[in-house]
Amino acid sequence: MNERRGPGGQPLLFLTDEQLRRGIEAMFFAYRGFTADPDRILQKHGYGRAHHRALHFIRRSPDTTVNNLLSILGVTKQSLNRVLRTLIEDGLVEAKVGTRDKRERNLALTDKGVELERELADVQRERMRLAYRDAGPDAVQGFRTVLEAMMDPDMRRHFNRLMGPEE
Amino acid sequence: MNERRGPGGQPLLFLTDEQLRRGIEAMFFAYRGFTADPDRILQKHGYGRAHHRALHFIRRSPDTTVNNLLSILGVTKQSLNRVLRTLIEDGLVEAKVGTRDKRERNLALTDKGVELERELADVQRERMRLAYRDAGPDAVQGFRTVLEAMMDPDMRRHFNRLMGPEE
DNA sequence: AATTTTATGTCAGCCTTGTTGACTTTCCAA
DNA sequence: TTGGAAAGTCAACAAGGCTGACATAAAATT
């Protein structure tokens, strides 16, 4: 299938609305699976997904500022602030006053924060690892390619910026 | 890369935690893009994602029951009921008393409901279509394979059941 | 026929996590 | 040095999850 080729010699994709709809439903159901394991752990600690996201990206970019986190997460500062406050109160996140600019807060995980983040990341990575294993290497490549193409340009910029020099 | 093979002759995947973490972040950012376009339309009508999901799956399985919808959506009946009630009041969804079993309600979209659902589906499919086009046919196959592997078994059952006989 | 189970709807109340608006503190630049 | 921009905080509200309790009607079982 899909053997016909367009002017540039690239294979044309003849995707029916029905096939596209299945992709949409796949995203819906898969995202549920994607969040299911962390959600269970978070519930035991009395946290929600918003806390998970904060922990994830703080660990990912230590000493990041609140503003940077805001633009990654795409929520209002008031919304993020509430989550950050509880994480700071509970001793999972440390907010140090910025050195250059005292208005800024440099956010970092404490040992306790690292511990919870690792617990969450472990189960989520394991789910991802099993899915990758079942699907095989070629599928993994395609998976990431389509996901990246689905992002808004701003988000794609964040996504690529988060990638370190490794790989 | 990944040329080594395991006992069964299958290529082994050597995925670092870092690579898995990127898959996780790709899911996060891509899901934002996935919902961005419908969210804008929904807001104009005063609805949220919950309404979108209900419209989508009612259109997908016309004359479905409330119970079936509940198990697909994975929310409580109280939560779904609130959404359904507004959709019925606004004349987008029709709930007919079941024929065989009068306890059941058969849910269907009205013309007005079909119209909104189509508007939502159009923009979401367009995003999906462009992503597929950019990524190419092989990537599309891999994308769907990984997503399916990521689902919980219950959700995968729903996912496959929703597929009609076509394709 | 009486009882139990099932499907659905509803009310009340709670929680998380989004939102806007108003405010303070800090910094920087005109 | 002063006015505006940026960072953060507080208050209040809304959407949409949740639980629990209860009502009704229909079906299934005894």
Mean of the pLDDT values across residues A76-100?
Answer: 93
With contact defined as beta carbons under 8 Å apart, do A130 and B149 qualify? Answer: yes
CB contact under 8 A, A27 and B34: yes
Is residue A56 over pLDDT 80? yes
Cβ atoms of residues B144 and A130 within 8 Å: no
Nucleotides on chain C within 7 angstroms of protein Cβ: 6-13, 16-22, 25-28
Distance CA A7, CA A17 (A): 23
Condensed to tens digits (0 to 9), the pLDDT of residues B66-89 reads 999 999 999 999 999 999 999 999
Report the C-alpha gap between A53 and B154 in whole angstroms: 26
Q: Which of B31, B130, B145 sits opposite A31 (nearest CB)?
A: B31
Give the mean model confidence (pLDDT) for residues A8-17.
66
The confidence score (pLDDT) of residue B118 equals 97
For residue A100, the model assigns a pLDDT of 84
Rg (CA), chain A: 20
Q: What percentage of residues in chain B have a pLDDT greater than 70? A: 90
In whole angstroms, give the CA distance from residue B72 to residue B24.
Answer: 24
The answer to which of A130-134, A161-165, B57-61 has the lowest mean pLDDT is A161-165
* Token pair in block for residue A145: 């390619």
The residue that minimises its CA distance to C1' of C28 is A101
Question: What is the average pLDDT score of chain B?
Answer: 90
- Judge if the beta carbon of A100 is closer than 7 A to nucleic acid strand C: yes
Between chains, do A26 and B159 touch, taking CB under 8 Å as contact?
Answer: yes
Among candidate residues B40, B56, B21, the one with its CA nearest the CA of residue A29: B56
Interacting residues of B14 by C-beta distance below 8 A, sequence separation 6+: B2, B4
Distance, in Å, from the CA atom of B20 to the CA atom of A111, rounded to the nearest integer, reads: 22
* Contact across the interface for A125 and B24, Cβ inside 8 Å: yes
Using a CB–CB cutoff of 8 Å, tell me whether A23 touches chain B: yes
Question: Between A and B, how many residue pairs show a Cβ–Cβ distance under 8 A?
Answer: 205
The average pLDDT across B37-53 equals 96
> Does the nearest atom of strand C lie within 7 Å of A4's Cβ?
no
Terminal Cα distance for chain A, rounded: 34
CATH topology of domain A17-160: Arc Repressor Mutant, subunit A (1.10.10)
Which pLDDT value is given to residue A16?
87
Rounded to whole angstroms, the distance from the CA of residue A105 to the C1' of nucleotide C21 is 23
The 8-class DSSP code of residue B96 comes to E
Tell me the per-residue pLDDT of A110-151, one tens digit each, with 9 for 90 and over.
999 999 999 999 999 999 999 999 998 889 999 999 999 999
Distance C22 C1' – A76 CA (angstroms): 15
For CA atoms A24, A29, A31, A32, the dihedral sign is positive
Residues A136, A88: Cα–Cα separation, whole Å: 41
Among A17, A142, A152, beta carbon nearest to B139: A142
Q: pLDDT band for position B163 (50/70/90)?
A: confident
Torsion of CA A10, B128, B123, B149, to 10 degrees: 160
- Residue B93 pairs in a beta bridge with B109
CB count in 10 Å sphere of residue B105: 20
Q: Can you give the length of chain B in residues?
A: 167
CB neighbour class for A86 (10 Å; exposed up to 12, middle 13-18, buried from 19): middle
Instruction: Say yes or no: Cβ of A79 under 7 A from any atom of strand C.
Output: yes
Q: What is the pLDDT of residues B85-143, one digit of tens each?
A: 999 999 999 999 988 899 999 999 999 999 999 999 999 999 999 999 999 888 999 99
pLDDT number for residue A12? 56
pLDDT tier at A13, thresholds 50, 70, 90? low
CB-nearest to B29 from A127, A151, A167 is A151
Question: What mean pLDDT is predicted for residues A42-60?
Answer: 95
Q: What is the mean pLDDT of residues B54-73?
A: 96
Mean confidence (pLDDT) of chain A: 89
Tell me the chain A residues in contact with residue B33 when contact means C-beta distances shorter than 8 Å: 150-152, 155
Give Cβ neighbours of residue B114 (< 8 Å, ≥ 6 apart).
B59
Residue of chain A nearest B34, judged by CA positions: A150
User: Which residue of B lies nearest to A1 if distances are taken between CA atoms?
Assistant: B137
Share of chain A above pLDDT 90, in %: 75
pLDDT surpassing 90 at residue B16: no
B86-145 residues touching A, CB cutoff 8 A: 121, 124-125, 127-145
Task: Report the protein residue whose CA lies nearest the C1' of nucleotide D24.
Answer: B103
Q: Assess contact for B167 and A19: CB atoms under 8 A.
A: yes
pLDDT reported for residue A58: 96
Q: What is the DSSP letter of B145?
A: H
Domain ranges for chain B, please list them.
47-157
Mean pLDDT of A58-77: 93
Average pLDDT over residues A58-78: 93
What is the domain class of B47-157 according to CATH?
mainly alpha
Q: Is B128 in a helix, a strand, or coil?
A: helix
Sole residue written with tokens 């919950």 = B50
Predicted pLDDT of residue B3:
47
Distance in Å from C22's C1' to A78's CA comes to: 13
Q: Which of A18-32, A89-103, B121-135 has the lowest mean pLDDT?
A: A89-103
CB contact set of B15 (below 8 Å; sequence gap of 6+)? A129, A132
Q: How confident is the model at residue A11 (pLDDT cuts 50, 70, 90)?
A: low
What's the complex ipTM? 0.90
